[in-house]
Structure 1
Amino acid sequence: MHHHRLDELITAKLSGTLDESGREELAALLLQHPEWEQQAALLEQYWNSVPEPEAPPAAVFSEMMAKAEPTGETTVKIVAWWKWVAAAVLAGLLCTAGYHLWQGTRRQKELQLVETRNGERRHFRLSDGTTVHLNASSHLTCRLNARTREIWLDGEAFFEVAKDPTRPFVVHAASMNIHALGTAFNVKAYPEDAQYETTLLEGAVEVYLDKTPEQKVRLRPYEKLAIGSTTAPASPEKKIMIKPVVSKVAMAKAASLPVIDSTLSETAWVSNRLQFEALRFDQLARLLERWYGVKIEFRNETVKNYVFSGSFASESITQALQALQLTEEFHFDNQSTRIIIY
């Protein structure tokens, strides 16, 4: 009812027939429904942008008026009536467009993007109650509606999924699809890495690949699924590998561990600690670039093959590299956001 009255008031305003009380009513209505202001502004902007029609030649106009034989008052009424009709038609058309615009806006709200840069990590909660930790240099798009919950991930994220049996929770990351209900798991899928990983800490997930959706792999807590990347130049054979991420002793104690296990290298980043095990220096360099927001350049090919294990938390990039120098010999030049290793 209110929206119909809005159409009437805007039509009167555009046609120039809106009186003072009508202007006050329109202002009050827009104040009560601020979401309609954009539609009203769009209508007025479009109306003002339409050029005035050119007046016909004097002879033609005289002939038209002679046939009509109107009085001056009638002429004014005819002009006003046509202006009102034009405004009403425009209002009707643009209100319909406004509805579709609102529908599009609603769909856009369903599809939301969150992204991080190198050196940046974010922690947030989705509208369904799911908690998300997004690692550096990652892009996450989510669609949450009454029927489903879908996530598209490029990078790394840790999910603590809110239970909702009526709405599946699915993460699409590279060629992997992870289907979960009320669970906690980590997904790592950077295009430049040699492999993609899914690590389950709590609950259960089913993982399947785009090309073989019928072949579902079910993970148990403290298991990791890894698959070779299709884009990385040094990609291993593209096959699914499943392995435990902790010892049997640790698994026996899993019930007493918090959901986010900071002792695991796969999820230590969620607790603001970069942990790595037996990584070549060129692989570690990518982690350091994301973690510290720097660019690392190697000037010595031999140094790339050094293997490191360790962890960093509050250390600066200079302190981290100095710690690595304690186990292997190399030199580096720190140029703010650019590190040269030789």
Structure 2
Amino acid sequence: MYKVAFDVMGADNGSLVAVEAASKFIKTRKDLYLVFVGNKNEIESGLKKFSIDESRYEILETSEFIDMNGSIMDIRRKRDSSMVRSLELLKDKKVDAMITGGNSAAFIAGSHFILGELPGIARPGFMPTLPTAVDNKLTLLLDVGANLEADIEDIIGYAKMANIYSKSVLKVKNPVIAQLNIGEEKSKGTLLQKEIYKELEANEEINFFGNLEARDILAGKVDIIVTDGYTGNMSLKAFEGASKILMNEIKAQLYKTIFTKLKALTLKKSFNNVSKKFDYKNHSGAILLGVDGIAFKAHGSSDVKSFEATLRMTCNAIENDVLNKIKKGIN
């Protein structure tokens, strides 16, 4: 039985959304046991509306939570917050993994102080999973905001950890890894990016593709894309924003007049397939790679679908023993 601590406080849409997602997802996994962490009254209120078998969960009551306006100092100030208590459960190995939709900066700080980094990893990285134009192919992108900067050792560490994750969780035999850059040529980028290119190219553990431009992130050319957190975060949010706007605009045009509505009926299945394929909510959530524990961050704006996706990714990481494989691989 996999045991997951679920911090249901601190996200934009409140605890009810998180509880509803849990109630739906747990029905698909007979091997999952949840520890709801947060305000007991709110959690119990949600469970009355979205029931879960009582043998499949418990509640860890906390008196505090860290909201989106919080800071990294709240990890010290709010010792009884749902985020801190969830991380402590993971640190003490009382759960196999934890999830939060709360403040990202506080989560990163808490993971550093409570879980600690793996040997050889100085800066952990956020790694989401992205859809691609190639059917049934996903791409891993990191870092997307855990750290604004990254040096050569950080990027090599990201590549190694993501390589192991891709093999064990996504079942890719020989993942292809690229560096995000302003051009494909070896000579492109800053001095640091050129040095990173040389190191990745020379590393025999890595199947290095070369440089990849941002326009090809969703093309399915590679399995893993490594970059610094500043660039990765902007790229991720650009994709999410563009995807949402594009889908809404297509829908608006299809239903603009009675004639386009009639035409839309014949295209409904195709449109739904594309919408489902590139809906980032189906792949929502990012693992913080490089800390000593399986810790996932859901979007602060997560809805039911997003939280379900994060729960699914968390279970997959536990099931495939990804943490121990990464520990072994980087050492």
TM-score (norm 1): 0.23
Q: Which has the higher contact order (CA 8 A, sep 6+)?
A: 2
TM-score (norm 2): 0.24
| Structure with the bigger percentage of helix | 2
